[in-house]
Copies of this chain bind each other. A is one copy, B any other.
Amino acid sequence: MTDVADIPQVLTDEIREMLAGVSTATITHQLQMRGMRTTFLAGLKPLLPGQSMVGRCRTLRYVPHRADMMDVLSTPMNSQRMAAETAEPGDVLVIEAREVPDAGTVGDIYASRGFQRGAVGIITDGALRDTPAIAALGFPVYHQSSHGSTWARHHMPFSHDEPITCAGVFVVPGDIVVGDEEGAVIIPAKLAEEVARDAVAQELREEFAIERVAAGDSVHGVFPLTDERRGDFEAWLAAKEQG
């Protein structure tokens, strides 16, 4: 397990602001254009309407329960606790639960502790437990399902701050995660800045297209943008930037 101090932190204020201003669909598209097919966390729903987040991935891995290993896990510093107690401002806790829908992975007390330490979101590809209480905390949470049981029904927390698979996506500690009402997407740390810049540029082209379509234009020429309409776009962009 990587020491927290060694987990990269690439989110500058500028990158964070750019990513907060674009959709997860645009980011996913930018990653697809770079050959990355599997970056959007499939099947996870935001718990609350209208929320979004940008953060650094911290990871927690649940594995199938083994009764012979419970002594090791019953220490005060098991991985579930460590994940909550070592959260840093701007972190998002990303949990691997092998998409098991019927066993809790995080409840309200550990969630509270993580958020109290500065975490800005929680993601699990398994079940929330204490869903109403977690919703009342008001922080962004993405999950597959809700279930009243504790993790021991199927899982045990085995490790944290190591690479995991969440909702079909491979996640390395220090990756960037962005969430909106559509869901959440993982960006490799080293690509965060270029993806952010290109996503902002892409959304400007799409904003132009939407305006033209609303004005009655066909999509031809404006989406995708062709050379014939590039002049129009650039004029629109200049006008927009002037303000």
Chain A residues in the interface with B (C-beta under 8 A): 23-25, 27-29, 32, 34-40, 42-43, 63-69, 76, 81, 84-85, 98, 101-102, 104, 107-110, 112-113, 116, 128-133, 135, 145-150, 152-154, 156, 158, 163, 165, 168-170, 180-183, 185, 188, 190-191, 206, 209-210, 213-214, 216, 218-220, 223
**What 17 additional pairs, Cβ within 8 angstroms, besides A43-B102, A148-B182?**
A25-B104, A28-B147, A28-B150, A38-B64, A40-B147, A42-B101, A63-B165, A64-B165, A85-B220, A108-B210, A109-B206, A109-B219, A113-B213, A131-B181, A148-B183, A148-B185, A158-B163
Q: Which residues of B contact A185 (CB under 8 A)?
A: 148
- Asked if A32 contacts B68 (CB within 8 A), the reply is no
Query: A112-B214, A213-B113, A219-B85 are contacts. A23–B133 as well, Cβ < 8 Å?
Result: yes
Cα(A24)–Cα(B104), bound, Å: 12
Q: Distance (Å) between the CB of A109 and the closest chain B CB?
A: 5
- Asked if B109 contacts A210 (CB within 8 A), the reply is yes
Q: Distance (Å) between the CB of A139 and the closest chain B CB?
A: 13
Cα(A145)–Cα(B44), bound, Å: 10
Q: Which residues of B contact A37 (CB under 8 A)?
A: 65, 67, 149, 153
Cα(A37)–Cα(B152), bound, Å: 9
Q: Distance (Å) between the CB of A34 and the closest chain B CB?
A: 7
